Amino acid sequence: MTKALAIQAKSISKTFRISEDSHNTVKHRLFNLFNPPRTKKVEALKTMDFEIYKGECIGLLGRNGCGKSTLIKLLAGVYPSDTGNINIFGTTLLMNLGVGMSHELTARENIYVSASVLGLKIKEIDEIFDKIVDFAELREFIDSKIKFFSSGMVARLAFSIAVNAGADIMFLDEIFAVGDMKFQEKAIKVFESSWIEGKTVILVSHSMDTIKKYCNRTAFMKNGSLVYFGNTDKAIEMYVEDNH
């Protein structure tokens, strides 16, 4: 039987340009009118190809700054890729401290917006609304703008929307690191329930135990390159070695 694709990335890459000078004051700008700010290129993602299949739980490992978040932001459509193309087969939700959520909207409004992005009709969202709020334990704050939330509260809300509104593909960037103990236990329960069956999960984590427990394949990244993508134990070994 052929496996169904969830994500296909062909020759994708991303380079950021960051300003090296601080032409921030009026005086500085005037003196440097004909001298544009110098920019530095950061090759956050070097050209890479890979395929992820439906139902897989993929680990993403690598040291700080190696490009993990950039990669999942590209896959989730937050940034466009500079080259190549990405095919996504299913609905996605990126749960990285509320990327994809609007900080100017309340938790209630964000639930409706995000769940509609996931393809639900208003009536269907009405039906699961309480479940989302209770799972996230945010009833008291439901009509507050999420810009006043802590990062853990935003992560709880995003996770709850994705779990209850049924995203097919979830990008979890350090989900076990942002939540408090109780939330982590809930997240683990979700991972160990039948909910996860058939879902595709990309899990960024610095916790080897988490990656080992849940990921059937793991990618190891270094300096923007996808060095290895396959057996989880082997990827962990490479990551541990890279930390020595």
For ligand ATP, the closer CB: 98 or 141:
98
Asked if residue 42 binds ligand ATP (CB under 6 A), the reply is yes
For ligand ATP, the closer CB: 65 or 77:
65
For ligand ATP, the closer CB: 79 or 89:
79
Distance separating alpha carbons of residues 171 and 200, to the nearest angstrom? 9
The token pair at 240 is 């541990």
In the window 124-163, what residues touch ligand ATP (CB under 6 A)?
none
CB of 107 to ligand ATP, least distance (A): 25
For residue 16, the cross-strand partners are 42
In the window 16-35, what residues touch ligand ATP (CB under 6 A)?
16, 18
For ligand ATP, the closer CB: 65 or 198:
65
Q: Which run of H or of E encompasses 227?
A: strand 225-230
For ligand ATP, the closer CB: 54 or 222:
222
Kindly report the number of other CB atoms within 10 A of residue 172's CB atom: 27
Asked if residue 66 binds ligand ATP (CB under 6 A), the reply is yes
DSSP conformation class of 56: -
CB of 104 to ligand ATP, least distance (A): 20
Asked if residue 70 binds ligand ATP (CB under 6 A), the reply is yes
CB of 166 to ligand ATP, least distance (A): 27
The token pair at 33 is 């009118």
Complete DSSP assignment for 84-137: EEEEE-S-EEEESTTTTS-TTSBHHHHHHHHHHHTT--HHHHHHHHHHHHHHHT
Asked if residue 68 binds ligand ATP (CB under 6 A), the reply is yes
CB of 244 to ligand ATP, least distance (A): 17
Asked if residue 67 binds ligand ATP (CB under 6 A), the reply is yes
Instruction: Calculate helix-pair angle for 151-165, 107-117, nearest 10 degrees.
Output: 40
Asked if residue 96 binds ligand ATP (CB under 6 A), the reply is no
Asked if residue 100 binds ligand ATP (CB under 6 A), the reply is no
Asked if residue 227 binds ligand ATP (CB under 6 A), the reply is no
For residue 57, the cross-strand partners are 201
Asked if residue 64 binds ligand ATP (CB under 6 A), the reply is yes
Distance separating alpha carbons of residues 138 and 107, to the nearest angstrom? 8
The token pair at 223 is 């300096």
Q: Which residues 6+ apart lie within 8 Å of 153 measured at CB?
A: 136, 138, 141, 146
Catalog residues that contact ligand ATP under the rule CB under 6 A: 16, 18, 42, 44, 62, 64-70
